[in-house]
Amino acid sequence: MNMERLSAEQAMHARTYREKTAQKNVAEEALHDLMESVSRTARSMKRSNPGAAEKFRLPSKMDGETWLATANAFAMEAVPLNDEFVRRGMAPDFVDDLKARILAVKQAGEEQAQASAERIAATAGLAEAAQQGLEAVRELAPIMRNVYASNEVELAAWESASRVERAPRRAEEAAEESPAQPTPAQG
């Protein structure tokens, strides 16, 4: 496998994931804005429609699923009160707009999940190819030492070309692996 191609695919999928995440954030913000308008407007209906404020209360949890469920409830609950919302300044098609924004968030979430899966697959492919490369080097190393035993220049070239750098280790990992140094006894 071509490490450059796999590495490029991994980077491409990572960028796509970030792009889809940004799109989802924009869609969620647009949905939240409309939901806040609906909730604010419903609070102004207290006298003419008791209980409206409670039907259109914004969720206290900030997770996306809770907001989507609440948005779906808003869309259903708003239909019978549509005229009252319109009299209070909401657009005549605000329920359709709310449904469209819900759909936009769902689609953006699905696209983000797809991009995440592709990024993970690309990373796994790259890791697998790297592992195969390491195994090939391990298999070839003794052979090349035998073949170039009498040719120091070629052997040095092979050893240089086949050298694999390890990823840098964090200080915590290195400390965990190294045995603790005994402290000298004080006397």
Give residue-wise pLDDT tens across range 26-49: 999 999 999 999 999 999 998 989
Structure confidence by residue, pLDDT tens digits, 86-122: 999 999 999 999 999 999 999 999 999 999 898 888 8
Count of C-beta atoms within a 10 Å radius of residue 35: 21
Per the structure, the complete domain to which residue 138 belongs is given by 129-165
- Dist. CA 50–CA 53, nearest whole Å: 8
Of the residues 79, 100, 126, which one is the last residue of a structural domain?
126
Which whole-number Å values give the CA distances from 175 to 179, 183, 184, in the listed order?
A: 8, 16, 20
> Domain boundary at 107, 126, 145, which?
126
Residue 34 and residue 7 share a domain: yes
152 and 116 share one domain: no
40 shares its domain with 77: yes
C-alpha closest to that of 78 among 93, 95, 63: 95
Is there a single domain that holds both residue 18 and residue 79? yes
Residue 174 lies in a domain: no
Q: Would 151 be classed as within a structural domain?
A: yes
Q: Taking the CB of residue 117, how many other CB atoms lie within 10 A of it? A: 12
> What does DSSP assign to residue 181?
P
Ramachandran bin of 83, using left for φ above 0, alpha for ψ from -120 to 50, beta for the remaining angles: alpha
For the entire predicted model, the pTM comes to: 0.69
Give the count of domains, the chain. Answer: 2
Length of the chain: 187
Nearest-Å Rg of the Cα atoms of the chain is 30
Residue bearing the bigger pLDDT, 175 or 44: 44
pLDDT value of position 94? 96
100 and 158 assigned to the same domain: no
Measure the CA–CA gap between 35 and 46, rounded to whole angstroms: 17
Same domain, 89 and 154: no
Residue 175 placed within a domain: no
